[in-house]
Amino acid sequence: MGEVTETVTETPRVRTLVLDVPGWTGHRAGQHVDVRLTAEDGYQAERSYSLASAPGEPPALTVERLDDGELSPYLVDEVVRGDRFELRGPIGGYFVWDHDGSTEPLFLVAGGSGVVPLMAMLRHRRAVGSTVPAKLLYSSRSLDDVIYRDELDRLGAEVVQTLTREQPPGWGGYGRRVDVDMLREVSYPPDESPRVFVCGPTNFVEAVAEGLVALGHRPGRIRTERFGGT
Ligand SMILES: Cc1cc2nc3c(=O)[nH]c(=O)nc-3n(C[C@H](O)[C@H](O)[C@H](O)COP(=O)(O)OP(=O)(O)OC[C@H]3O[C@@H](n4cnc5c(N)ncnc54)[C@H](O)[C@@H]3O)c2cc1C
């Protein structure tokens, strides 16, 4: 069981829930939990949510509302401090980045709420004072949809953003979907052996992974997490 101790509105569609989970033994950056909600009539639904916080910090989930979704509108709009729900985890040992002394650069590519587990990695890197070069390429629809907008400047990592639908006047970032040319311009060259993590909607992740392989990145260096959707 997790109890919501704090809620943070990140964007009009996205909210962070900070949790107190008795017996929580900690997590690794990139892991997720399975949240199970039970309705009064006993109906149960379960979804996965990445842990947004750095290891050592209280578990926090950042959830984006899908208007036609079953669970996310409840988690974003209804849950209040003190509410409790079942959760299982932390889960996952593949899509994780540990501060383990290696020096390979970290290249992170996020689509929408796919930034959540990558944020845990960047928060972890900052918290342990890692000097591993790190770059985040982050795709959002518009500036209002950028999650963790203020914190992105304070991560001590290079952050490159693209806004796919709407760019404010004077926008200095990219204004299109992530494509091979963008990946070539932004990613570390393959001969620097970057560790690559890609997360977001399924079609985003597949397009980015294919693009990186086309640029010469070894598939074994590219770790992906698909949040669903098409
Ligand atoms: C390992 C893992 C980690 C995840 N971490 C997060 C996270 O940190 N934050 C977060 O907000 N979500 C995360 N997700 C997605 C989450 O599990 C749910 O799928 C999402 O919240 C939708 O649930 P729902 O019940 O609201 O929608 P549903 O009722 O399940 O689906 C509604 C509709 O939306 C489509 N859909 C489902 N997921 C997506 C998506 N991601 N993008 C676009 N369309 C979608 C479905 O195909 C369906 O048509 C993660 C998924 C996985 C597998």
Per residue, the 3-state secondary structure of 177-221, as one string, reads CCCHHHHHHHCCCHHHCCEEEEEECHHHHHHHHHHHHHCCCCHHH
Question: What is the Å distance from ligand 1's center to 204 Cα?
Answer: 14
Q: How far is Cα 121 from Cα 106, in angstroms, rounded to an integer?
A: 9
Task: State what percent of residues in the chain have pLDDT above 70.
Answer: 100
CA-derived radius of gyration, the chain:
17
**pLDDT single digits (tens) 177-196:** 999 999 999 999 999 999 99
Query: Which SS3 state, helix, strand or coil, does residue 115 take?
Result: helix
pTM score of the predicted model: 0.96
Res. 230 pLDDT band, cuts 50 70 90: low
Q: Would 2-91 and 106-226 be classified into the same CATH topology?
A: no
For residue 100, the model assigns a pLDDT of 87
What residue segments make up the domains of the chain, in order of their start? 2-91, 106-226
Which atom of ligand 1 lies closest to the CA of 91? Answer: 1
Label the pairing between strands 195-200 and 222-226. parallel
Task: Please give the CATH topology (third level) of the domain spanning 2-91.
Answer: Elongation Factor Tu (Ef-tu); domain 3 (2.40.30)
CATH fold group of domain 106-226: Rossmann fold (3.40.50)
pLDDT at 101: 84
CA of 101 to the centre of ligand 1 (A): 34
Which residues are paired to 174 by β-bridges?
162
Nearest CA to ligand 1 atom 44: 229
| Ligand 1 pocket, mutate which of 62, 66, 121 (most atoms under 8 A from CB) | 66
- Smallest CA separation from ligand 1 atom 31, residue: 69
- Per-residue pLDDT at 84 exceeds 90: yes
The SS3 assignment for 59 reads coil
User: Do 97 and 197 contact (CB within 8 A), yes or no?
Assistant: yes
Pocket of ligand 1 (CB under 6 A): 32, 47-50, 62-64, 66, 68-72, 113, 116, 201, 225, 227-229
Q: Whose CA is nearest to atom 49 of ligand 1?
A: 229
- What's the pLDDT score for residue 81? 97
The full DSSP string for 119-169 is HHHHHHHHHTT----EEEEEEESSGGG-TTTTGGGGSSSEEEEEESS---T
Segment 122-139 mean pLDDT: 97
